[in-house]
Amino acid sequence: MIVPGKSMGSLDKAVELIRAGELVGLPTETVYGLGANAMDDQAVAKIYALKGRPIDHPLIVHVYSKDEVGYFSNQLPTFAHHLMGSLWPGPLTLILHKREGIARACTADLQTIAIRCPKHEVAQTLLKECKQVGIWGLAAPSANRFGRVSPTTAVHVQEEFGESLFVLDGGACEVGIESTIVDCTRGRPIVLRPGILTLEELSICAKVPVITERDLMESSSLVEQVDSQAPQASGTLDSHYAPRALVRLLTQAQIKQRLTHESTHSLKLGLWSQPLELLKNANFPIYWLEIPSTPKECAKVLFAQLRAFDGLGVDEIWVQSPKNSPEWAGINDRLLRAAHTGTEHR
Ligand code: TXA
Ligand code: MG
């Protein structure tokens, strides 16, 4: 059931459900989440069951503000304080050392915990209301079935889980791809999942250079500076964010070349690219939409676009590869995973 997220009646009902150990769909500025009381292991188990998510894939705990972080972790490096101070509320998740024994189910019993403070007004109000009744955080993965495309509208959430789930409608998500995850447990801040924030922005806010796992692979001196125990993020599986149609990431030249091939003409094709002269003369049906030219605009519509192509029943979705530059890292990451074939998620 989709309800208006800003109405106090809806929010009260959501809090009541969460207190009763039930699940609620909620908007954040990145993507919609499937929320439950992070301290209620049985409620958290329902998230895993509904998503079909393996129980060793930990969830993110959402908090109202940085004041609640101490409840979950009491070991924060200075750079984590800086990151929270500048980028929260916002699309940033921090991996921190966990306080002993807390939020077991939602952290897959790891020694670390992922915490994020979302900016969306509805999420903020819900978290504030929850805090007032002693619920310090909401475990909330993206509200999609495991391995599928993340939802950026309330209707997407309902498409995933049906009418029975209570979903707070907060409109279309502003960011559109999931939060940037920064591991703060290994002495240096390390990006585990790129999002809309660039390394440059993150480094300025952290007041130390923020590095990637690739940097670590490529530099032995960096490896020596970090704690070797690497937490794994489930979003780093090769195949994720997969629509039903086959996704191909292609250069403009490859698109042009393929469009001239006879074998393509029997396909129902979705094409997300810059305008192409060639399309005017195509003698077979193509659903074409222009890919936005800036990372922010592109991220905002990326998942909705993949879902829309699926809705049209296309066989293949061809996406013109964005630039391989740092500000496109989050988008390229999602596109590469969406395009990955040959694993159990397809
Ligand atoms: O933007 C977002 O982050 C959205 C919204 C709803 O907040 N949430 C989201 O959650 O993307 P989910 O469950 O789809 O992704 C959570 C990611 C997974 O890749 C998981 O492995 C990682 O966070 N994660 C959680 N706890 C972790 C930990 N202790 N160490 C390493 N990675 C962790
Ligand atoms: Mg997810």
Ligand 2: centre distance to CA 253 (Å): 32
Task: Determine the Cα angle at 43 with ends 41 and 44, to 5°.
Answer: 60
Summarised one tens digit per residue, pLDDT across range 274-333 is 998 877 777 778 999 999 999 999 999 999 999 999 999 999 999 999 999 999 999 999
Domain 2-223 - what CATH class? alpha beta
79 vs 245: CA distance, rounded Å: 42
For a mutational test of ligand 1's pocket, the pick from 60, 99, 193, i.e. the residue with the most ligand atoms closer than 8 A to its C-beta, is 60
- Ligand 1 lining (C-beta closer than 6 Å): 28, 30-31, 33, 57-60, 93, 95, 107, 110, 112-114, 116, 118, 140-142, 178-179, 181, 192-193, 231-235
Neighbours of 255 (CB within 10 A): 20
pTM: 0.94
Fold classification of 246-338 is Rossmann fold (3.40.50)
Residue 155: name the closest of 164, 173, 167 by CA: 167
The per-residue pLDDT for 217 is 83
Would you list the domain boundaries of the chain? 2-223, 246-338
Ligand 2: centre distance to CA 184 (Å): 20
Summarised one tens digit per residue, pLDDT across range 91-101 is 999 999 999 98
Q: Is the pLDDT confidence value at 344 over 50?
A: no
